[in-house]
Amino acid sequence: MRHPNDADHGRKKGDMTTRIDITVTPRGGNGPNVECDITGPTPYVTDNAIFLPLDSGDFDVYFTLPDGELTWDDCPFGAQAGKCPKGKPPPSGTKQGQFTAYRETDRVMKLNATGQSKVSVIHYLMNFRGGNSCDPIIINGGVGGLQ
């Protein structure tokens, strides 16, 4: 899937940024915790988990929601309280850890993630309007055939 704001899909000429398009399909859950199916290109997405290779430059990850009831919150991505790295969700467009998140539309969130971190498992939340959230698995560092 090509995002309308980008001319190229994948690695951009002249830099080390790779674009990854991911679909997030909410399936329901208990209270504010929503189970989500995560689908996207191999080798970056496998078994509902996102794998970013270590020391391979930055990634622009576009999360798209299918038509439905849930839309991205104004603060679409942030750290889970009490998890590593600790913190509260940052305002949209600000850095926290190795991620910067932007809500581009109700259905598209852009996440810039660095592949330079030495942190392997990131405990973050994707936030929907109305207080619901989904806990994505993002592994930074060579798992899933990206060694």
CATH number of the CATH domain containing 128? 2.60.40
Tell me the pLDDT of the chain (147 aa) as tens digits. Answer: 333 333 344 444 445 788 999 999 998 776 788 999 999 999 899 998 888 877 677 889 999 999 988 999 988 987 666 444 434 444 444 444 567 888 999 999 998 876 555 554 556 789 999 889 998 888 766 443 333
| Phi/psi at 79 (5° precision) | -75, 145
Asked if residues 100 and 111 have their Cβ atoms less than 8 Å apart, the reply is: yes
For residue 76, give its domain range: 17-140
Nearest to 125 by CA among 87, 94, 93: 87
- Contact between 49 and 37 (Cβ < 8 Å): no
Residues 6+ apart with CB under 8 A from 98: 113, 114, 116, 117, 119, 122, 140
Give the span between the Cα atoms of 48 and 40, in whole angstroms.
Answer: 9
Q: Does 12 map to a domain?
A: no
Q: Looking at the whole model, is its pTM more than 0.85?
A: no
User: Does residue 51 lie in a domain region?
Assistant: yes
**Inside any domain, residue 124:** yes
Question: Does residue 98 fall inside a structural domain?
Answer: yes
Number of domains in the chain: 1
85 cis-preceded (ω within 30 degrees of 0): yes
Q: Which pLDDT value is given to residue 15?
A: 59
> Which residues neighbour 8 within 8 Å (Cβ) at sequence distance 6 or greater?
19
Q: Is residue 1 part of a domain?
A: no
